[in-house]
């Protein structure tokens, strides 16, 4: 249950087994069904999640109600509505389980307490921020100035998991095209 998290913090950031004994106490297991929400727009995000299995999706809706997906968190990734989590302000994003998932949950106060008290945990937060930032950059540059077909090819090259595991509707909302366009694009590949 905690193996993956231990591996992540120990291998990745040098957290010792003793330190992990402290850390693990703050995490609780949650099993999610397909389409379960972890957070709805307008609510304050009070938890960080570590994905043991399955996949979480972060998305929002525009004025016409179309969904726009920003990020998928697969196994062994931390994921949360980070802006709301940091500022403890109402979230612009929804967070939803795409498939059946198993996640570890930690409360925001506890998370930041660990960041402040354990240098190795702090380093994992810093690393998460750096990664989250760099992923966003790739996203901006991978999309702006490119056609829908180029974006699809970019996704195939950079995030094949997304294409192989998720539904077309969800992929389309990530690519910023309609489901119709995505369907047509596939035949052009």
Q: Give me the residues that bind a second copy (CB under 8 A), please.
A: 60, 62, 66, 68, 70, 82-83, 86, 92, 125-126, 129-130, 132-134, 136-137, 139-141, 143-146, 176
Q: With CB under 7 A as the contact rule, which of the stretches 74-82, 117-125, 132-140, 146-154 interacts with DNA?
A: 146-154
DSSP 143-168: HTT--HHHHHHHHHHH-HHHHHHS-H
What distance in Å separates the CA atoms of residue 43 and residue 171, rounded to the nearest whole number?
A: 25
**Residue bearing tokens 């660990």:** 114
Q: Of these partners, a second copy, DNA, none, which one is at the site of residue 168 (CB under 5 to 8 Å by kind)?
A: DNA
Binding map of DNA across residues 63-102, x = CB under 7 A, - = no contact: -x--------------------------------------
* CA 73 to mean position of chain CA atoms: 3
Contact residue for DNA among 22, 44, 149, 163 (CB under 7 A): 149
Q: Give the Cβ contact number of residue 158 at 10 Å.
A: 13
- Contact between 122 and DNA per CB under 7 A: no
Q: Are 52 and 78 in contact (CB under 8 A)?
A: no
- Contact between 61 and DNA per CB under 7 A: no
Beta strand 56-61 with 94-97 is: antiparallel
* Residues near DNA (CB under 7 A): 34, 64, 147-149, 167-169, 176-184, 186-187
């Amino acid at each position: 249950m905690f193996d993956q998290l231990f591996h992540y913090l120990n291998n990745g950031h040098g957290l010792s087994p003793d330190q992990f004994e402290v850390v693990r106490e703050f995490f609780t297991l949650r099993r999610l069904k397909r389409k379960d929400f972890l957070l709805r727009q307008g609510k304050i995000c009070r938890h960080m999640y570590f994905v043991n299995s399955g996949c979480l999706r972060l998305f929002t809706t525009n004025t016409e109600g179309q969904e726009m997906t920003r990020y998928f968190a697969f196994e062994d990734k931390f994921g949360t509505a980070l802006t709301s989590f940091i500022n403890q302000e109402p979230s612009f994003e929804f967070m939803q389980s795409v498939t059946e998932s198993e996640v570890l949950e930690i409360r925001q106060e506890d998370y930041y307490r660990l960041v402040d008290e354990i240098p190795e945990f702090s380093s994992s937060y810093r690393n998460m921020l750096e990664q989250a930032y760099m992923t966003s950059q790739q996203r901006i540059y991978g999309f702006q100035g490119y056609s829908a077909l180029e974006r699809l090819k970019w996704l195939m090259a950079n995030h094949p998991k997304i294409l192989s595991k998720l539904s077309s509707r969800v992929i389309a909302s990530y690519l910023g095209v309609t489901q119709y366009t995505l369907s047509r694009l596939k035949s052009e590949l």
